[in-house]
Each structure stands twice: as structure tokens, then as C-alpha cells.
Amino acid sequence: MALCSSVGALALPSELIVHIFSFLSDRDKLRASAVCSRWRECLFYPALWTELKLRVGGGTNGGGSGSEQTPRLEFLMRKFGSFVRELQLEFAPLDDCLSPLQHGVEAVESDPQFAKDAMVTYLDQVLCVLGSLRNNRNLQKLSLYGDTCILQDDGILDSSYLSQVDQGGKKMKEIQQLFEEILSNSRQLKWLSSAFMLGVVTPCSLASLSNPSTSSLEHLSLIDSQLPSLISTIELERLTNLRSLSLDFCDFTSDMCCLLTGGDRAPLHRLSLLLNGAALDVKPLDGTATEDDWKALVRRSTNLRVYIMAMDVCSQDLLRVLKPSVPLERIHLDSYSTLVTDGVMELISQQYRKTLSHFILMRDDAGFPDLSVNRNEDPLVLLAWRCVHLAVLIIHGYTVWSHNLVAISRLRGSNLKVLEVSEESIDFDPDQSVYIEGDPVHNLVKEVSLGLGRVWHASIDNSLVLNEPTQHFHREMQSFSAGM
């Protein structure tokens, strides 16, 4: 406050004040803008807002629809939408609607008006964002994520709510038109990502991308629950400098894989694939890339690394998906009803022992099945032993025996940067407790901490390991692709 009121501060040139404020976070910049008119003028200088990360929605503690955040979003987009270079936007889950399995369905069924209000808010906020970006020719990165448990057709809100609040589809058509307008007006787009944004992207959207942006685009991710594919082989052919790609696994066809092996294209560095077991009846695995296709792709793109998330996929289909030549670096197996077998675990640890660095195994259902048929050959221990680059291991929903957890920590040591195991997944072998004195939990924490070379504790808060799977995929894909 003294800086603002002093004669010396007022005498500083605007350029210097802008430089000082460039060290503040976005939140602190907005707070500082309320100090005085001079600071406000300097803080909304375009150079300070080249990058904007927003997370809207979530409602209020009373379970609101999130509409109270719309005026703030409108203010930010009105100020920065025309010149911001990088925009990342996430629509957060609404209160009491975290997933279809967490009493959200009952909440919406008892209050259908709540669902309609949430859909209206979503449409208004998307229109606000896209309308502010339509004339931005300097946009280099656009990343959008819509909360699937609110917006997906098979989630809490289905298309029936959309037809009720947007009769005739007027708003949705406007949203789709704005999105295509942004693509056609872009001149240096390098990153384009839209995940589960209900109705925003259509199979025709990518055709609107301007010629300059087809040459500059390095990352493309278009994922939704729609049919058919949002990324066609014809449109992909235009993107010759693409280095990172993210799409539905069933849309990664043999033809698309062959296209990416072309010598006139930049080598692919990152490939993120989402496989939804519930959709395999309408989007079968037939026609996806074969083993020979993968071999050809790896020969062309020698630095290629692959991330796969499989949601509720049975082991039989997983065995079809996990081809030997896939350069798999990260895999996330998430399910509500299906079980991962020891055969799948054995295949992963054998085939990807030289490339695998991230392994996440989640199951959100009653009971904690034991992966190990033979206690002396635990699949998780073999995974830690064989996969020499394993750095992240996260387990929930399966029984992890305490002595195996100790073995894993000793095998990988400090190279295992993340070891998250939910407390309820850990079990203690009664036969071994006879030979160990003291509290078994305390001994486990001590031994694992010694093995890792740092303090370790089991995860008590399940939110650390359990979250919306598609949101995890989106964020993991972001960090995975940014490291190319």
C-alpha cells in the first residue's frame, strides 16, 4: 500500500511496474488490481496475461449449479480473450455430483431443476469463452475439459436435459460454429485439446483449421463419447508437424497408423489412447492398429512413447490391446466391475520392462481381490523387479500384502518417486506377524520408508488415489505430451 501512495511509486514508468507485477501469480494480480486505478491499468497490460488457467463450476457449498461464477468468467474473458496466447479451461464437478456412483443420480432425480440449471450454466459459460476467443489470431494453446459425470450422455445429465434447456439446439449450433471460427481464424495454433466438451467438437470441426495452423500444430487431442471419430485420417494428413496425438483407442485405426509412418511427416513423440470398455459393443477393436502397424510406426518414430488408460476393460480385451511392439510408458487400468488378472500383469511386466515408468491400478467396487495366485510370485513385486524405469506406482481396490509392499520399496528404492497405496488396500499376512514384534502398521511404515529412502505413509484420503478417471486421463495426457 505504501508503494502505491508514495511519490516514487507513482513516478515509476508503467513498463517497470508491469515488469514487477509479472512475478505475481494470476490470483495475486487480480487482487492487486483492486488497490488503485494506476495498478489496475498496469495489471491488465496484455503482456502479463499471455497464459490463463481457469477452473470453473463446482457450485457452492449448498450445491449450486456454478452460475455464480459466470460473471467472473465473463470479466476475465472480456479482458483477456482477444489476446491471450495460452488458455486452459476445466469445468469442475458440481457439488454432490462427483460420479454416478456417489449419490449424484439420486440427487438429480429428486431435483430435476438442478440438472437443468447446471446444463444452462455450462452452455452459457462455454459460449462466453468461445465468443471471447473468436477473433484471437495469436492463440497458440487451447485446452478445454468438460466434467464427464455432469456432461456425458451416460452420466447424470443426458441429452434429454440438453434438449429441454436448448430447444432446437440453437445454443449448441452457436457453440460449434464459434469453435470452428476460432480454428479458422487461428494463425499459429500449436496445441489443440478438447476432452468431453459436450457437443462442442463435431467430426467436421477439424476441417475448419486454417492452413497456417495446420503447419504449426504440434499437439492434437479431441476426445468425446461421440460416434464417429472426431479425428479422421484425411484431416490428420494435413497436420504434417504433429508430434503428439491423443484420441480414443478404437479410433486409432490401421490406416491412421500407416499415415503416421510417412516420411514426409515429423516423427510422433507422444501418443495417448483412451479405451472405454463400455463402448466396445458399438466401437469394436476390429480395425485398430495391428502388431505390424506398430512396428512400422516405431521404426519411423524412434522416440515414440505411449500412454494408455483402460476403463472397465476385461482382461481378454486387454490382452488384444497390449501389442508387444507398443512402446508403452504409462498405463492406467481403472474399473468398477471388471478385474485385472495376474495374466495381464505378467504380460505387462514382461513386454514393457524396458519402457514402463507409470503403473496405476484402480478398482472402485466392494471387496479387494488378491492379484497373486502364488504368494511367492506376487505380480506387483515382479512388475517392480522387471520394469527398471518404474517411477510411479498407484494401487487401490486390490489387496496389497504388507511384505510385498516392503519388497517393492527395496527393489526400486529412491527411483520410485511416487508410491501411493490406499490404507484399506493393505493387508497383513498372519503367518508373518508371528515373527515380527510390535505394531505391524508401524513396522510397515518404517520398512517402506527405509526402502524408499524417504518418509512414506499409506494414503488415508482416498481422493488422492480415487478421482474422476477421465479427468485423470486429461491431466496425465497434458503432462505426458508437454514432456515431448
Distance CA 115, CA 450 (A): 50
Reduced DSSP (H G I as helix, E B as strand, rest coil) percent helix, strand, coil of the chain, to 5: 45, 15, 40
The C-alpha cell at 27 is: 490470483
Average pLDDT along the chain: 85
Domains and CATH numbers, the chain: 12-48 (1.20.1280), 49-95+112-242 (no CATH), 275-483 (3.80.10.10)
Average pLDDT value for residue range 443-454: 95
Average pLDDT value for residue range 53-59: 72
Distance CA 150, CA 115 (A): 9
Express each pLDDT in 59-85 by its tens digit.
443 344 567 778 888 888 888 888 899
Express each pLDDT in 177-203 by its tens digit.
999 999 999 999 999 999 988 788 999
Residue closest to 225 by CA, chosen among 147, 164, 167, 296:
147
As beta bridge partners, residue 459 has 422
Give pLDDT, residue 102: 36
Non-local CB neighbours of 19 within 8 Å, separated by 6+ positions: none
**What whole-number percentage of the chain has pLDDT above 90?**
54
The C-alpha cell at 283 is: 466401437
Sign for the CA dihedral angle at 315, 476, 403, 368 comes to negative
The C-alpha cell at 50 is: 499471455
Ranking 88-92, 300-304, 462-466 by mean pLDDT, the lowest is: 462-466
Express each pLDDT in 6-33 by its tens digit.
555 667 788 888 888 888 887 888 788 8
Does residue 46 or residue 319 have the better pLDDT? Answer: 319
The C-alpha cell at 134 is: 473468436
Distance linking the first and last C-alpha atoms of the chain: 44
Give pLDDT, residue 390: 97
Global pTM value: 0.88
Give pLDDT, residue 156: 39
The C-alpha cell at 255 is: 490406416
Give pLDDT, residue 71: 87
Express each pLDDT in 234-262 by its tens digit.
999 999 999 999 999 999 999 999 999 99
Give pLDDT, residue 219: 97
Distance CA 411, CA 452 (A): 9
Cell 510417412 maps to which residue? 262
Does residue 246 or residue 429 have the better pLDDT? Answer: 246
Whether the per-residue pLDDT at 271 is higher than 50: the answer is yes
